Structure 1
Amino acid sequence: MKVDNSAIHHSPVAVSGGTLLAALAVAIFSFTFPATHWALGGFGPWTTVTVRAALAAAIAGPCLLAARAPLPDRRQWPAIAVVASGVVLGYPLLTTLALQTTSTSHAAVVVGALPLATAAIASVVTHTRHPRLFWIAACSGTVVVIVFALSQSHGAPTGGDLLLFASLLICAAGYVAGGRLARTMPGWQVIGWALVAALPLTGPAAALALGVEPSRPGGLSVLGLVYLAAVSQFGGLMVWYRGMAAIGVARASQLQLAQPLLTLVWSALLLGERLGAATPLTAVAVLVCVAVTQRV
């Protein structure tokens, strides 16, 4: 049986530091949905997504130049393309569109299955064979999320739910590609080059969206957009990939257990969303399923 060896040869100090970096990234990511909610209060969804990516690239590009980061070689560009497609374009777009019709707390529970999707895709990519209990827990967590989504929409999935489920797959693919690539280059360069690679698309798209979609920028909406660009899109992924390179994809995904619960806290405290009994219970059930997959 093959295993995730990315952290085996690291010293305890390196592993501890990697764990702290991954935990910091999870805390950053947990505020992404509330920040998106704020941004949508003043900007359209396409503006939010494209400007977020373009601004993040405007930060990443000078950082790459200042560090004299070498250009990725030919073998690394396919993985960078997957990262750009997943975490720069696909996941932000799909979740932002979903949050137009779905509450932040609902989205947090559905996206709580992301570690399951990440572990499943990683096992396929790395040809890792897992015990039967792994797949039982993974399938159970998926069923729990599906049942929750259907119960909240009277038995039929909404357009927002379909967008969220699609975002799980594309983001998981970006996580796996980026985590593996971060073994051969610094994590911040992984997301930095992905942002720069996407700029020929996100730059013109941002200009078009700003000209077409009506905008009513205010303090919270601008703050939300800046947070998404500088913190979630660049800073968070920078420390996330660095943490995954130090401790491995599987162990980093285990830390992501706390993300949906933290998002629920932000949703209640900052957005005033009322959480039904099913919401935290489902989040805990998904957490247990993910914990089992990581333990086995």
Structure 2
Amino acid sequence: MQAHANSIGSNKESRGMWLGLAGVAVFSLTLPFTRIAVAELHPAFVAFGRAVVAALCSILLLWQMKAPRPTRVQVKALLITALGVVVGFPLFSSIAMRYVPASHGAVVLGVLPLATAVFGALRFGERPSLGFWLAALAGSGIVIAFALRQGGGHFHAADFALFAAVIAAAMGYAEGGRLSQSMGGQQVIAWALVLSLPVMLPASLWLAWEYGVSASPQAWLAFSYVSLFSMFIGFFFWYKGLALGGIARVGQVQLLQPFMTLLGAALIAGEVLDASNLLFAAAVIAVVAIGRRMAVRR
């Protein structure tokens, strides 16, 4: 009986890891497409406008699902989620992408798995083992070293915006991942977007009026990706994965995201990808494999 229960738990965790990886693959192209969009559109408009587009899609989804209204307790968690992933991360990352390449942002955001684990531990009582923390620290240390190497031994001023984006995303990921256990990943991101619409819509309209929205088809295509995939569809996979496999463990899949983003930046934005990137990617994958085997009490 115990063996059967362990097998079920292992299958749920494995499924959670694969769903998390699918979400990370979608998110990994966010910075390259944001970089393209903010080259012609105001960064705040890109951040808030993509939330408006995704919120309108969410209204249709919730109506089709006949989803019940969230409870008062759930609304509080949804607002925290929205503050992190609907407002904070898009705004700070869009500002940073105006000044630094997507490849630079990719490696700085490599500390996101550690930040997500910290929020999960502090907010919801997950207790990763010492080995898990060492693996997370090692992986984060690798990507930080990579960022410093790319920056000539120091951080760029835009890194502060990226660090703020990390904190916002980690908070939203942890809160939303936990809430997905009772609401489901689709409803979590959909309601978070809908609740943010009364603020995002007027802000987007004002920004469009103030700064204009004249841009090339390429910029609008990039805006469409971050609106529909980064802000909406990717969260279906991500929050479901966090709910099944745990915030701390599935969050480690994010260690692969910087290197997926580097590849995307090379293919989409024409940024340079050199051999050292592949070496750092191999090191991070090894750390993820080690951390995957470490115990996490939930």
TM class, shorter-length: 0.7 to 0.9
Which residue, out of 213, 216, 220, partners 1:215?
213
Contact in 1 for aligned 2:54/2:193 (Cα 8 Å): yes
Which residue, out of 253, 262, 265, partners 2:263?
265
- Specify whether residues 142 and 244 from structure 1 end up closer, same or farther in structure 2 by C-alpha distance, changes over 3 A only: closer
Contact in 1 for aligned 2:256/2:281 (Cα 8 Å): no
Q: CA deviation at 1:100?
A: 1.0
Distance 1:221 1:46 in 2: 15
In structure 2, what residue type is equivalent to 1:125? R
Per-residue deviation, residues 66-98 of structure 1 (Å, max 9, x unmatched): 221111111111210111001101011111111
State percent identity of aligned pairs: 39
Which residue, out of 189, 193, 202, partners 1:191?
189
Contact in 2 for aligned 1:108/1:260 (Cα 8 Å): yes
- Specify whether residues 38 and 123 from structure 1 end up closer, same or farther in structure 2 by C-alpha distance, changes over 3 A only: same
Which residue, out of 244, 248, 252, partners 2:250?
252
Partner secondary structure for residue 75 of structure 1: helix
For 1:175, the equivalent position in structure 2 comes to 173
Contact in 1 for aligned 2:131/2:291 (Cα 8 Å): yes
For 2:123, the equivalent position in structure 1 comes to 125
Per-residue deviation, residues 155-204 of structure 1 (Å, max 9, x unmatched): 44322111111211111111110111001012100000100111111000
For 2:24, the equivalent position in structure 1 comes to 26
For structure 1, list consecutive stretches of 5 or more residues without a partner in the other structure. 1-6
Q: How does 1:1-296 map to 2 (within 5 A)?
A: 17-275=15-273, 279-296=277-294
Distance 2:175 2:34 in 1: 25
Contact in 1 for aligned 2:110/2:144 (Cα 8 Å): no
What TM-score do you get using the length of structure 1 for normalisation?
A: 0.88
Distance 2:6 2:48 in 1: 38
Distance 2:280 2:178 in 1: 31
- Specify whether residues 162 and 38 from structure 1 end up closer, same or farther in structure 2 by C-alpha distance, changes over 3 A only: same
Q: CA deviation at 1:17?
A: 4.8
Moved more, 24-33 or 200-209: 24-33
- Specify whether residues 39 and 155 from structure 1 end up closer, same or farther in structure 2 by C-alpha distance, changes over 3 A only: same
Moved more, 80-89 or 262-271: 262-271
Q: CA deviation at 1:42?
A: 2.8
Contact in 2 for aligned 1:144/1:286 (Cα 8 Å): yes
In structure 2, what residue type is equivalent to 1:241? Y
What TM-score do you get using the length of structure 2 for normalisation?
A: 0.87
Moved more, 46-55 or 215-224: 215-224
In structure 2, what residue type is equivalent to 1:50? F
Q: Which has the higher helix share?
A: 2
Contact in 2 for aligned 1:106/1:279 (Cα 8 Å): no
For structure 2, list consecutive stretches of 5 or more residues without a partner in the other structure. none
For 1:4, the equivalent position in structure 2 comes to none
Distance 2:162 2:284 in 1: 15
- Specify whether residues 132 and 249 from structure 1 end up closer, same or farther in structure 2 by C-alpha distance, changes over 3 A only: closer
Moved more, 213-222 or 158-167: 213-222
Contact in 1 for aligned 2:253/2:288 (Cα 8 Å): no
Distance 1:208 1:175 in 2: 29
Q: How many residues align?
A: 290
- Specify whether residues 127 and 71 from structure 1 end up closer, same or farther in structure 2 by C-alpha distance, changes over 3 A only: same
Partner secondary structure for residue 69 of structure 1: coil
Contact in 2 for aligned 1:109/1:283 (Cα 8 Å): no
- Specify whether residues 10 and 230 from structure 1 end up closer, same or farther in structure 2 by C-alpha distance, changes over 3 A only: farther
Distance 1:155 1:12 in 2: 42
Distance 1:178 1:57 in 2: 16
Distance 1:17 1:93 in 2: 31
Contact in 2 for aligned 1:257/1:291 (Cα 8 Å): no
Distance 1:80 1:206 in 2: 21
